[in-house]
Amino acid sequence: MRCRRCGEKAQIHLKRHHAAFCAECFLEYYSRQVHRNIRREKMFRPQERLLLVVSGGKDSMALWDFLLRENYRVTAMYIDLGIGEYSKNSRRVVEQFAENHQADLIVVDLEKEYGFTVPWLARQARRSSCSVCGVVKRYLFNKVALEEDFRVVATGHNLDDEAATLLGNTLSWQVGYLARQAPVLPSTHPKLVKKVKPLFTLTERENLAYVLLNRIGFVHEECPYSKGANSILYKETLNRLEEANPGTKQRFLTTFLKNGRKYFQAHRESIELRECEICGQVTTAEVCSFCRLREIAQRRQTEAERT
């Protein structure tokens, strides 16, 4: 197969676009996609300061590399969640990349700064690690962005992530979540930072190709807690549908964003935002989810000290 742009031997075949590219033209395609997403969805302006949440995985590492190459004013933020070897390896990858590229990096070490890890907290709270992890991450990146005066937080969510989330929310018609799923979540409160997903039209496979072609280090293992997670079941499901009908995944997400989502917006407006009584961050309850988890952690620690 030949490259669609230059006619050289193709290295990557993108069935959903009926296209194949050589390495160089693939990177050009990738770059155009990300630039187009940033511009069309009004994610951020060229000179705007950005906080990028990185996990060490292929997607966030690809985006970090891309934003640096294109001279965006990006600072990365890594949260050490304390998930054994997985966290150690991913932290090493991220710190190494920052050093090699002399890139700005903020590391939040959950255990050092808050006295707990995600697996420990999940056990104490009798919740899944994934749900606790989500609360912790959302809280911390908003907090750090406010403290460091960033108006925009970017994440490496890709097409597979977004389509899987959409499928999960659709299978149980979680209208509130459906109303909120978008590549750009505007700031709806002075203390809530805008969130953007510049890779939302690019697949896992394309981000993998980007990091491999650019020889960017990334943590190859998946988080050990993701095994058996519904998000993986939904990704597999969508991959099977995609195999039968190439383009299904992208159509599912883009037609939702274009035709479906607006119908759920009515619901969204009924959510009232307030400030957490303990930490002052934005929440829909009296005390935010993070502070409720911290209370559980503090109680368990006090109990442990007593015995």
Q: List binding-site positions for Zn(2+).
A: 3, 6, 22, 25, 276, 279, 288, 291
Instruction: Out of 19, 106, 182, 241, point to the residue binding its own copies (CB under 8 A).
Output: 241
Exactly one of 170, 187, 214, 226 binds its own copies (CB under 8 A); that residue is 170
The binding site comprises 3, 6, 22, 25, 276, 279, 288, 291
Among 266, 271, 273, 285, binds its own copies (CB under 8 A): 266
Q: Which of 172, 270, 302, 307 binds its own copies (CB under 8 A)?
A: 172
- Identify which of residues 116 and 264 has a Cβ nearer to its own copies in the complex: 264
**The binder of its own copies chosen from 96, 188, 230, 298 (CB under 8 A):** 230
Told to check if 233 binds its own copies by CB under 8 A, we report yes
In angstroms, how far is CA 285 from the centroid of its own chain? Answer: 24
Q: Near its own copies by CB under 8 A, which window of 34-42, 112-120, 126-134, 251-259?
A: 251-259
The residue among 230 and 301 lying less far from its own copies, judged by its C-beta, is 230
User: Binding to its own copies by residue 271, rule CB under 8 A?
Assistant: no
- Chosen residue from 240, 273, 295, 301 binding its own copies by CB under 8 A: 240
Taking the complex as a whole, the smallest distance from the CB of residue 245 to its own copies amounts, in Å, to 7
List contacts with its own copies (CB under 8 A): 170-173, 175, 230, 233, 237, 240-241, 244-245, 248, 251-252, 255-256, 258-260, 263-264, 266-267
